[in-house]
Amino acid sequence: MNIRQKEFSKWLKTNQGKRLTALEKVHLELLLKKIYGSQALILADPAQADLPSTLQVNSAMLIHPSKPRKTSINSFVSAQYGRLPVASDSMHIALMPHTLEFVVNPHQVLREVERVLRPEGHVVIVGFNPMSLYGIRRLFSNEGACAGQFRTLGKVKDWLNLLGFDVVNSNYYKFSRLAEKKSSLMQNISQWACPIFAGIYIIIAKKSILGMTPQKPEWARSAKFIKKGLVKPASRDICRD
């Protein structure tokens, strides 16, 4: 785990972190009712491993660079996001709650997700909005959730488009319920602020059918990987994401 991931993992155990996880799960359950598949991949902290109850999958795999421990997901693999030990074109759904904010190379992580998803598979990305009050907090603190590198919804959508994904849903969600005190400035502002200042966003994108993918920039070109089976990460893996 890098320093950012350690800070976020610690923050998720706080009351505010738990409220964030619970609120996002509610939104995801509403959004994922019509998405289904056999295999789901979760790139997240174990504290975020609870699958939305409406998600229709047969099995799920959690991947995180921390040491394996007991979670609600039976299959937990300790590995770096930048080199996933997963066969190409094998996953139907990839869930990424606040994954991109806390890695060094988000391009590489998205490239790997594109590799392991089946054609027409879905990726679900949850991110902190840099225009929110959490984004402003980053100017004064680099601890907890503020340790991440926040990217705009538009920027992440551009990255997905370059990788050949079709964005099927994207929206902002207020974090008023995440405020520690109902009378706080965060709570009051969230009642009237425009959606662009909301706390989080959720993007759902579908991988294009093989042969329909547009030409990709250099950073979006994947390296060669073993095509079948679960791949054990190399012991000398130098990738840090």
pLDDT at 240: 42
Query: Longest Cα pair distance anywhere in the chain, in angstroms?
Result: 54
Between residues 141 and 123, the one the model is more confident about: 123
Helix (H, G, I), strand (E, B) or coil at 9: helix
Q: Which residue has the tokens 């790139």?
A: 43
CATH code of the domain covering residue 147: 3.40.50.150
Count of domains for the chain:
1
- Is residue 240 situated within a structural domain? no
Which of 14-18, 85-89, 172-176 is predicted least confidently?
172-176
Report phi then psi at 180, rounded to 5: -70, -30
pLDDT at 218: 54
Between residues 188 and 35, the one the model is more confident about: 35
Burial category of 185 from C-beta neighbours within 10 Å (exposed 0-12, middle 13-18, buried 19 and up): exposed
Give the range of the structural domain holding residue 145, as residue numbers without chain letter.
3-211
Determine what percent of the chain is predicted with pLDDT higher than 70.
76
Question: Confidence class of residue 116 from pLDDT cuts 50, 70 and 90?
Answer: very high
- Is residue 88 situated within a structural domain? yes
Q: If we measure between CA atoms, which residue out of 134, 129, 146 comes closest to residue 201?
A: 129
- Is residue 80 situated within a structural domain? yes
Report phi then psi at 96, rounded to 5: -135, 75
pLDDT at 57: 87
Concatenated DSSP letters for 136-168? HHTTT--SGGGGS----HHHHHHHHHHTTEEEE
d(CA 140, CA 215): 40
- Is residue 74 situated within a structural domain? yes
Report whether 74 contacts 94 (CB < 8 A). no
- Is residue 231 situated within a structural domain? no
> For residue 11, what is the DSSP state?
H
- Is residue 229 situated within a structural domain? no
Q: How many CB atoms lie within 10 A of CB 183?
A: 7
Report whether 126 contacts 200 (CB < 8 A). yes
- Is residue 228 situated within a structural domain? no
Token representation of residue 137: 């907090």
Which of 25-29, 32-36, 57-61, 210-214 is predicted least confidently?
210-214
Report phi then psi at 132, rounded to 5: -85, 180
CA 3 and chain centroid, separation? 18
Q: If we measure between CA atoms, which residue out of 22, 51, 23 comes closest to residue 37?
A: 51
d(CA 229, CA 240): 23
- Is residue 235 situated within a structural domain? no
